[in-house]
Structure 1
Amino acid sequence: MRRFDLELLNTLAAVAGTGSLSAAAAQLYRSQSAVSEQIRKLEESCGLTLFTRGKKGATLTPAGERLLEHARQLLDLNDRAWRDMQGLSLSGDLRLAITDYFRPNDIAAVLKRLGYQYPALRLHVSIRKSALIEAEAGQGDFDLGLSMRVMDAKYRRPAAKMAGFSTIRIRREPLIWVAAPTFEWPEEQSGPLVALPDSCSLQQYVRDKLNAAKTGYFIAHTASGVAGLQSALSAGLGFSCLNASAVPADVAPLDCGLPKLPDVEFNLVVPDSADGTLVGEVANFLGA
């Protein structure tokens, strides 16, 4: 019986997680050709096609989806065994405050894996706005925070006062104008915008960009959170702007001459006194 190479499985997980060979190459600190060769070897070993490649990147085939589930379990078991041999064990309560723009489609699975790796670690997760996460750091409501910032120098909000706290960048993604594949911009009319309340800084930014570009729009639907916004987009109620990892599978990029958008950056907000092992492990899990 053949045995899987864990390095090849790790590459599979990286490509699946980032959606492209080039993005996975940057994450793995390898060349794109090396990543492509590893995927080729894995497909050859399985005798199956694991990815379909196109202009939008690399998408798992049904066989790839099945193997990814096994790959994650094997990689997690490997990591757990290594930590056990090193005597590394995390326990106790960890209160984590996260923006709901961060990987909403798979964050639950990521946190489940973190819990599996550290069964003695009790996770308490709350969803908050990024500005509040940064402003309330150190007030005792959470141990670690994960916030999002728009990488636009003209818009960037002043850094919150976080005495005793630091930020660690774990992920950077593009912002994308999106809508249902069937969406068509009304001719010579304003476009229907799906939005979040004014308290959302990203939504304020989106409207500022549209106003500056003199792009006509009206608020067609206001959702209470990212999950509601995703549902409204999938239902074809209008267009909006989301970071790449928050775009639902049944929603597509929209190219209607809309203003160019910058990237967003996700940062882990950590106390300077935090245990380095704990912070490092959480950062690795969330940034993978």
Structure 2
Amino acid sequence: MDKRVRRFDLELLNTLAAVADAGSLSAAAARLYRSQSAVSEQIRKLEESCGLALFVRGKKGASLTPAGARLLEHARRLLDLNDRAYRDMQGLSLAGDLRLAITDYFRPADIAAVLKRLGDQYPSLRLHVSIRKSALIERDAGSGTGDFDLGLSMRVMDPELRWQNANAVGFSSVVFRREPLVWIAAPSFARPTGQSLPLVALPDTCSLQRYMLARLDQAGVDYFIAHSASGVAGLQSALSAGLGVSCLNASAAPPDVVPVNAACRLPKMPDVEFSLVVQKSADGTLADEVARLLAALS
């Protein structure tokens, strides 16, 4: 029997990480620019190499087995080490201060872990992170008055809203993630018959909340604000507690809520896109490399 240690294929480990992060083979395929069958084949090869099942497939996607979770920890370290080695050979070493402005709709449950990985890969890089509204990120970047180097903003992909950003100048942006807006509530929530729809919302200074209310008005849905939260974290808590219905991008939805579109006859919502906004006055090499890394980690 051959006792030699086999070497893992980094491409297969990258696919493992993509499926784990995306939650399904189809979503991972879109991120990796591969077909779903190709991603499935790569996972099959990796499972065959390990001799263990790494994912449990179901109607809601793919979840890691205990063996898959263990391998994922190794995979992330190996992939990070590979990236460091490549950057070293290319003479890329990030150091200094970088100011990030981030919308709190972007992966609120794990943005801290993403930023920690960024810091781990670049120990000489000092990050200064602030949470801001997307409209302010793009406005300040476009006017050149922003006190940040790199912004992460979200836009609702409704053609009627495009005019708001049509004249934006002074910065460049790269779209790196797209996901749906979904109406959600706690599984126990039931709309009272013949009564107004209780909404969980953010203040009207939030453009997504204004858009949500406008769509409800257009659809003739009778509603009232049952709970007003100050931020996305408070909105998530109120939804999980069953205080009402709201609309969030998919990656910001708490894990213990369910879609309610059909049950409450709510209007269909468009997708949102996340973009990395780089001010022209920023250090181009530094900002571009961090933008690339943030996109890869997403």
- TM-score normalised per structure 1: 0.94
Q: Which whole-Å deviations, capped at 9, do the CAs of 1:115-152 have from their partners, x for residues lacking one?
A: 11111110000000011111111214111111111000
Output the CA distance in 1 between the equivalents of 2:35 and 2:275: 26
2:58 corresponds in structure 1 to 54
2:251 corresponds in structure 1 to 245
CA shift at 1:164, angstroms?
A: 2.6
2:133 corresponds in structure 1 to 129
1:154 corresponds in structure 2 to 160
CA shift at 1:202, angstroms?
A: 0.2
Q: 1:229 aligns with which of 207, 226, 235?
A: 235
Output the CA distance in 2 between the equivalents of 1:245 and 1:105: 8
Output the CA distance in 2 between the equivalents of 1:140 and 1:201: 19
Q: 1:183 aligns with which of 168, 189, 192?
A: 189
Sequence identity, in percent?
A: 77
Whether 1:68 aligns to 2:72 is yes
CA shift at 1:86, angstroms?
A: 2.0
Q: 2:221 aligns with which of 215, 223, 233?
A: 215
Residues 246 and 117 of structure 1: CA distance in aligned 2, closer, same or farther (over 3 Å): same
Q: Which stretch of the first structure deviates more once superposed, 42-51 or 110-119?
A: 42-51
Q: Which stretch of the first structure deviates more once superposed, 121-130 or 37-46?
A: 37-46
Q: Which whole-Å deviations, capped at 9, do the CAs of 1:175-206 have from their partners, x for residues lacking one?
A: 11111122222222222111101100000111
Mapping for residues 1-288 of structure 1, pairs under 5 Å = 1-137=5-141, 138-156=144-162, 158-159=164-165, 162-255=168-261, 256=263, 257-288=265-296
1:135·1:160 contact (CA, 8 Å) conserved in 2?
A: no
1:154 aligns to what SS in structure 2?
A: helix
Residues 209 and 162 of structure 1: CA distance in aligned 2, closer, same or farther (over 3 Å): closer
2:62 aligns to what SS in structure 1?
A: strand
Residues 99 and 157 of structure 1: CA distance in aligned 2, closer, same or farther (over 3 Å): farther
1:13·1:71 contact (CA, 8 Å) conserved in 2?
A: yes
1:180·1:250 contact (CA, 8 Å) conserved in 2?
A: yes
Kindly provide the amino acid, as one letter, of the partner of residue 252 in structure 1.
V
Residue ranges of structure 2 left out of the alignment (5+ in a row): none
Kindly provide the amino acid, as one letter, of the partner of residue 270 in structure 1.
V
Output the CA distance in 2 between the equivalents of 1:259 and 1:284: 35
Output the CA distance in 1 between the equivalents of 2:259 and 2:52: 30
Q: CA RMSD in A?
A: 1.7
Residue ranges of structure 1 left out of the alignment (5+ in a row): none
2:165 aligns to what SS in structure 1?
A: coil
1:94·1:122 contact (CA, 8 Å) conserved in 2?
A: yes
2:137·2:146 contact (CA, 8 Å) conserved in 1?
A: no
Output the CA distance in 2 between the equivalents of 1:43 and 1:287: 27
1:177·1:241 contact (CA, 8 Å) conserved in 2?
A: yes
Output the CA distance in 2 between the equivalents of 1:229 and 1:76: 34
2:198·2:225 contact (CA, 8 Å) conserved in 1?
A: yes
2:149·2:287 contact (CA, 8 Å) conserved in 1?
A: no
Kindly provide the amino acid, as one letter, of the partner of residue 141 in structure 1.
D
